[in-house]
Amino acid sequence: MSTGTTSPYAVTPLRVLRAEWFKLHSLRSSRVTAATAVFAVVAVALVMGGTYTSGGGDADIDPVVLVLQGTLLSQICLAVLGILVTAGEYATGAVRATLTAVPARLPVLWAKAAVFAATAFTLSFATALAAYPAAQLLLADTDMAGSLGDDGVVAAIAGNSAGVTLVALVALGLGALLRSVPGALGAFIGCVVILPEILGALPYEVVETVLRYFPTQAAGALGSSTPLPGAASPGGALLALLLWAGGTLALAGVLLKRRDV
């Protein structure tokens, strides 16, 4: 006769989420990588604020883009962390215990993605919210002076954080697909970072149009308080990133169900 209570050993979505949360936040490598991502954004913001001078030909740059240049480095750090979340378990062999505890398998991948996305977005957003006004203290007497209350600034910071998070989710999906930290890192750097730069050298308008919706280019379009010339619209860029991240994770999920481990 059922008592209506959940067994202490039952696998539930909440327990899978809790387990993945504990694994992510208990690893020293996670804390070091996250701290490096934060340092990159803050350090570059302060450098840009302290070295910028009016009249140097950079007046047309969006202030949010100028201050948050460190996001490019932070994005790489969080992509590495995303790969470690999935491929790292294959490297250590811990994935066998994880999949034995959760034989349905797919809840593990979704929980990893959800926990990582929440952590990456919160970390990126909080860091940018602190870095931008700190840099503005140094930009007070320049033509880049502004505040968080200016039109579009908070939205651009949120967009910047969403872009970083979704690109890192693509990396997490690559880690689950390839089950190898070096392989996933190579695929991310080669296909997500370098390939668009190579294709951008081709003198074809259609290539230029398509490249606007590649992960890193789409993420850049989300982090500006004013429209960027030659970039995708914020709505189109966000949709593209959602499709990149969702498609990579969906393919990883299909293979996770079909593989032995």
Tens-digit pLDDT profile for residues 124-168: 999 999 999 999 999 988 888 888 988 999 999 999 999 999 999
- Does residue 244 fall inside a structural domain? yes
Q: What are phi and psi of 248, to 5 degrees?
A: -65, -45
Question: Is residue 56 predicted with pLDDT exceeding 70?
Answer: no
Question: Is residue 59 predicted with pLDDT exceeding 60?
Answer: yes
Instruction: Centre a 10 Å sphere on the Cβ of residue 102 and count the other Cβ atoms it contains.
Output: 18
The mean pLDDT value for 81-101 works out to 91
Q: What are phi and psi of 82, to 5 degrees?
A: -60, -40
- Does residue 118 fall inside a structural domain? yes
Task: Return d(Cα 157, Cα 126) in angstroms, integer.
Answer: 9
- Does residue 1 fall inside a structural domain? no
Sign of CA dihedral 191, 68, 114, 95: positive
Dihedral over alpha carbons 78, 79, 85, 89 (to 10 degrees): -140
What is the reported pLDDT for 34? 94
| Range in 39-43, 93-97, 125-129, 214-218 with the lowest mean pLDDT | 93-97
- Does residue 155 fall inside a structural domain? yes
Domain limits at 213? 13-258
Question: Is residue 9 predicted with pLDDT exceeding 70?
Answer: no
Count of all residues that appear for the chain in the document: 261
What is the pLDDT confidence band of residue 12, given thresholds at 50, 70 and 90? Answer: confident
- Does residue 122 fall inside a structural domain? yes
What is the reported pLDDT for 57? 64
Task: Return d(Cα 81, Cα 79) in angstroms, integer.
Answer: 5
Question: Is residue 35 predicted with pLDDT exceeding 60?
Answer: yes
- Does residue 40 fall inside a structural domain? yes
Instruction: Centre a 10 Å sphere on the Cβ of residue 6 and count the other Cβ atoms it contains.
Output: 10
What is the reported pLDDT for 205? 87
**Higher per-residue confidence, 56 vs 197:** 197
What is the pLDDT confidence band of residue 53, given thresholds at 50, 70 and 90? Answer: confident
- Does residue 3 fall inside a structural domain? no
Write out pLDDT tens, residues 171-181: 999 999 999 99
What is the reported pLDDT for 8? 64
| Range in 98-102, 216-220, 239-243 with the lowest mean pLDDT | 98-102
| Range in 13-17, 95-99, 107-111, 228-232 with the lowest mean pLDDT | 228-232
What is the reported pLDDT for 1? 42
Residue percentage of the chain with pLDDT more than 70: 94
SS (H, E, C) the chain: CCCCCCCCCCCCHHHHHHHHHHHHHHCHHHHHHHHHHHHHHHHHHHHHHHHCCCCCCCCCCCHHHHHHHHHHHHHHHHHHHHHHHHHHHHHHCHHHHHHHHCCCCHHHHHHHHHHHHHHHHHHHHHHHHHHHHHHHHHCCCCCCCCCCCCCCHHHHHHHHHHHHHHHHHHHHHHHHHHCCHHHHHHHHHHHHHHHHHHHCCCCCHHHHHHHCCCHHHHHHHHCCCCCCCCCCCHHHHHHHHHHHHHHHHHHHHHHHHHCCC
- Does residue 234 fall inside a structural domain? yes
Domain total in the chain = 1
